[in-house]
Amino acid sequence: MEVLGKAAMRKSENTETGDPVRRFLARAGSRTAIIYLVVGLLVVVAIIAGGREIEHHINAIESFITKLGPLGVLAFVGLFVLATSFLLPDTVLCIIAGALFGLFWGIAAVLTGSVMAAMIQFALSHKLMRGRIQRTLAERPTLLAIQRAVRRNEFRLQLLLRLTPLNPATISYLLGAAGVRFSGFMLACLALIPNLVIEVYFGYVGRHAARLAVGNARTDHLHNLVIFGGLAVCVAVVVLVSRMAHNTVVRAVAETEKAGGSPRDFGTENKNKLKSY
């Protein structure tokens, strides 16, 4: 009975420590889902309101993008780096890339922008903004607890965090300020690829749906089934993987806090240490 009591107490402690992180990640997932829902509703509203005119607008946008050529893609990459560095959700930009540039060039633009943004955000947080970021984290115990877990289990947690619905720029700033190795940081960024591809694909499917709705998409039923069914399957896989990563991060944070003190204590300790920055 005593052994069972101790086991139950340990489980209760882990649950209490992990609950704030679990709620934080759940809120991040809800925000991402809301973005998808809003974009989907906007597509439906545009189709209903625009009717046949929607085809004319799509063709005009495509013609404009074609005239810009590579300059258009480069301009978008620059916008992506700037906007995401100011914590604008990359989901919005990825969907726009898929709608504007199509699948291939949309993915190329987003991956290039994501890599460049991650490098810049790492440099800023590691060299120039480290003290400011740590002072901010001292007021955010949940993020501070995640950072502490990363320091304990560096590469594995970096990889898992990239699979969660947290804003990639937030993670980059957090990791850079934690002092992780640049090589491991960049390698972990590869875990972003599946989610970025799905978001670009979502924009591409939205454009296809708009053409289909006005009856000008020259595709057969099998092709449409592959396009929409493929999106559904990919989203389901990404959600499953994200949930697994979510649970693993929660457990890792709980174990770290149990071994090294509560997030609140760690935050108080850091407030004193950061006076030296």
Q: What confidence tens digit (pLDDT) does each residue in 132-167 have? A: 988 888 888 888 888 888 888 888 899 999 998 889
The pLDDT value recorded for residue 191 is 93
The full 3-state SS of the chain, as one line of letters, equals: CHHHHHHHHHHHHHHHHHHHHHHHHHHHHHHHHHHHHHHHHHHHHHHHHHCCHHHHHHHHHHHHHHHHCHHHHHHHHHHHHHHHHCCCCHHHHHHHHHHHHHHHHHHHHHHHHHHHHHHHHHHHHHHHCHHHHHHHHHCCHHHHHHHHHHHHCHHHHHHHHHHCCCCHHHHHHHHHHHCCCHHHHHHHHHHHHHHHHHHHHHHHHHHHHHHHHCCCCCCCHHHHHHHHHHHHHHHHHHHHHHHHHHHHHHHHHHHHHHHHCCHHHHHHHHHHHHHHC
Percent of the chain with pLDDT over 90: 28
The pLDDT value recorded for residue 124 is 94
The pLDDT value recorded for residue 10 is 46
The pLDDT value recorded for residue 266 is 40
Query: What is the pTM (predicted TM-score) of this model?
Result: 0.79
At 111, the pLDDT band (50, 70, 90 cuts) reads very high
What does the pLDDT average to over 29-33? Answer: 78
Average pLDDT, the chain: 80
At 217, the pLDDT band (50, 70, 90 cuts) reads low
